[in-house]
A and B are shown apart, each in its own frame.
Chain A
Amino acid sequence: MKKTIQRFFETLRPRFEKGGRFQRWYAFYESIETIFFAPGVPTTATPHVRDSLDVKRYMASVVVVLLPLLVFGMYNTGYQSQLASGKTPELLLSFWIGFKAVIPLVIVSYLFGFGWEIVFARIRGHEISEGVFVTAMLFPLTLPPTTPLWQAAMGISFGVVIGKEIFGGTGRNFLNPALAGRAFLYFAYPVQMSGDAVWTVLSGARQTAVDAFSSATPLVVAFEAKTAGAVEEALAEVGYPFWKLFFGLYPDSIGASSTFLCLVGALVLMAIGVASYRIIVGDILGVVLTGAVLNLIATEGSIPYMTMNPLYHLIIGGTAFGIAFMTTDPVSAPDLHPARWIYGFLIGALTVLIRVFNPAFPEGIMLAILFMNVFAPLLDHVVLKFRLRRRIANV
C-alpha cells in the first residue's frame, strides 16, 4: 500500500517541479503529498530545531483536538434552538439543526481561508501552509451561530490576508489571524456580533424566542447581577448552575461554551507538547488571582460582578477556549519561558478586568489576547535583556 502511494507521487512529482508542465501548481501538489509523507526537504534557514514533527502534523493535531468542540458546538446550537422554540430538545434533532446552522459557516471559513492561502501561495511562490487549517477551524468556533455567511467570509478573509498573508504567511505574522478576523467582525458589524439575540438560532418561522427561554449569555447575566456576593445565585436562577456552565450547554459562540472539552483539548495539546503549559497555567493564574483580588477589594458600593467566585470567570464565556487554543498559538506568543508566564498571566488578568470594568465589551479575552500579541515581542526583548545582564561578561 505504502509503496503504491509512494510510486504514485514519484511519477507525478516531475510534472510539478520546475520545468514540468504543471509547475505553477507545485504548492498545491506539495500540500497533498505532505499529507502522506513527511517533506523530504529539510529546513535550510537557521535557526531551526531537528524534529520529525513538521508544521502539517503540528497543526493537524490542533484541528483534531478541535473536532469534539465542533461536534458539541453543533449539538449545543440545536439544543438551544429547540429550547428557544419551546420544545423539549431531542438528541438527533438538535444535532441536525445545529449541523444546518454551523456547517455552512465552517465550509465558508475553509473555502475563503484556504482560497486566499492558495492565491497567495500561487502568486508569491510559498508553500500552502497548514496554519490556515487551524485558523479556518478556530475562526467559525468563535462566531455566534447566527452569523451571516458573507460576514464569516469577510472575517476569515481579513484574518488570513491582513492578519497573516501580507506578512509573508504562517509563522511571520504577529497577531493571531483567527482572532484578528473575529475582532474585525466585532467592530465592523456589532449588531450581528453582540447583544442577546445573536447566540441562539431560531428554527422555523419563529421570530422571537419563547418567554420562558433566557437568551442572555452568562456573561451578561453576571455583569448585570444586582446583589454583591450572589452573582453565582443570579446565574443559577436563570438556569446556569456551575456544572451546566462547565459542560457548556448554554448560548454562546459555537465552540467556546464547553469548558470541559477545552480542558481536555488543552491537556492533550500539553501532553503531546504542542501547547505551552507555561502560557496555559499563567493564563489560569492570571484569571483566578485577579478575580480573587477583586473579591478582596470589593466593598459595599462596588460592582457586584467583582464579588463573583474567580473560578466562574474560567467557565463562563470564551475564557477556556481562548486559553486552550488562542493564547498557545506559537507564532503570536512570546518565545522565552519567563516571557510566556508573564504573557499568560497578563492575558488572564486583563480578561477579568475588562469583563468587570469595561461595559463596552461583555467578553474580554479576544481583545486581551490581541493586546498581548502586540506586546509579546516586547516581553521577549525585556526578558532577553535581563538575561544578558545577568551573564558574566567575557570571563
Chain B
Amino acid sequence: MENLISIFVNSVFVGNILLAYFLGMCSYLAVSQNLKTSAGLGVAVIFVLAITTPANWAVYHFLLAPGALSWAGLPEMDLSFLKFILFIAVIAGMVQVVEMVIDRYSQTLYNSLGVFLPLITVNCAILGTSLFMVERRYSFAESVVFGIGSGTGWALAILAMATVMQKLRYADVPEGLQGFGIRMITTGLMAMAFMLFSGITL
C-alpha cells in the first residue's frame, strides 16, 4: 500500500509527466488557452491513462516480454521489440472505444471534448506512460496507480497552465513572443517551480 501511494505521489509531483519529462506538450500547448477544454481534456487523459496503462501491462506481460508466451508453449520467444507498435495500437483502440461510449452516454461531454478525444491517441504522454511502466517493471496494481497518477499530474499541469494563461490575458507580451512563444516560456518557468520536488526519493 505504501508503495502504491509513493508511486502516485511520485508520478503526480516528482516525475510529473509534463513538467518533468515534457511529454504530451503538443495538446497541452494548443488547448491551454481555454480553461474549460483544458479541464475536459485533463479528465479525458486521466481516464485514458487509467485504462491503457494496465491494458498495455497485460499485453506486455502475456504477449511481448521475454518468455511471456510460455503459456502458448513458446518460452523462447521475445517479442518485446514489438511493444511500440502494439502499445500505440492498443491505445488507439481504447480511445476509439472510450469515444463511442462517451458519444452514446454523454453527448455534452462528447461535444465539449470534440476533436481532442481522438487526438489523445497521439498524445505522447499516453505512450510514454506505458513505456515507463515497462522500464520500471511495475506490477499490475502499480501500473493502474501509475496510469492514474500520471494522468492526474498531466491534468494538474494543464489546469495550472490554463489559469495562468487566463491571468496573462492582462499581460502585454512583446509582439514576437505572443502565442506559442510566451506559452513555451511560461511552461519553462512552471517546470522550474516543479523542480521543488526533484531529488525526493520515495
Contact = CB atoms under 8 A, between A and B. Distances in A.
Query: Which of B173, B190, B194 has the most chain A CB within a 10 Å cutoff?
Result: B190
Contacts of B185: 162, 166
Interface string A168-183: 1100111100001001
A327 B91 CA distance: 43
B193 A167 contact: no
Interface in B26-85: 35
B172 A168 contact: yes
B199 A380 contact: no
A259 interface: no
Nearest to A169: B172
A367 B163 contact: no
Given A174-B168, A378-B163, A381-B166, A166 B174 contact: yes
A358 interface: yes
Contacts, number: 87
Given A174-B168, A377-B164, A378-B160, A167 B200 contact: no
Contact of A163 (B173, B182, B189, B200): B189
Interface of A: 124, 126, 162-163, 166-169, 172-175, 180, 183-184, 187, 350, 354, 357-361, 364, 367-368, 370-371, 373-375, 377-378, 380-381
B171 interface: yes
Majority secondary structure, B binding face: helix
A358 B197 contact: yes
A359 B189 contact: no
B202 to A, nearest CB: 9
Given A162-B189, A166-B182, A381-B163, A367 B195 contact: yes
B201 to A, nearest CB: 8
B172 A174 contact: no
B42 to A, nearest CB: 12
For the complex of A and B, list the 10 residue pairs with the smallest distance between their C-beta atoms, beginning with the closest. Answer: A360-B199, A168-B172, A377-B163, A367-B196, A370-B193, A172-B171, A378-B163, A167-B171, A377-B167, A371-B193
A332 to B, nearest CB: 10
Contacts of B97: none
A168 B173 contact: yes
A359 B199 contact: yes
A373 B168 CA distance: 13
A173 B167 CA distance: 9
Contacts of A357: 200
Contacts of B109: none
A168 B103 CA distance: 43
B163 A371 contact: no
B199 A364 contact: no
Interface of B: 35, 159-160, 163-164, 166-168, 170-174, 177, 182, 185-186, 189-190, 192-201
Contacts of A350: 196
Given A174-B167, A377-B166, A184 B192 contact: yes
Given A174-B167, A377-B164, A358 B199 contact: yes
Nearest to A354: B196
Nearest to B202: A357
Given A169-B172, A358-B200, A361-B199, A373 B160 contact: no
Nearest to A369: B193
A22 to B, nearest CB: 24
Query: Which of B159, B167, B170, B173 has the most chain A CB within a 10 Å cutoff?
Result: B167
Query: Which of B35, B195, B196 has the most chain A CB within a 10 Å cutoff?
Result: B196
Contact of A168 (B159, B171, B193): B171
Nearest to A370: B193
24 contacts: A124-B172, A166-B177, A166-B182, A167-B168, A167-B172, A168-B173, A172-B172, A174-B168, A174-B189, A180-B192, A187-B192, A354-B197, A354-B200, A360-B198, A361-B196, A367-B193, A367-B195, A371-B193, A371-B194, A371-B196, A374-B194, A378-B160, A380-B163, A381-B166
Contacts of A183: 192-193, 195
A373 B160 CA distance: 10
Nearest to B192: A183
A227 B106 CA distance: 58
A364 B200 CA distance: 12
Nearest to A331: B167
Contacts of A163: 189
Nearest to A381: B163
B177 to A, nearest CB: 6
Contacts of A380: 163
A374 B195 CA distance: 12
A375 B192 CA distance: 13
A378 B164 CA distance: 7
A173 B168 CA distance: 7
A366 to B, nearest CB: 9
A374 B199 contact: no
Nearest to B165: A377
B195 A187 contact: yes
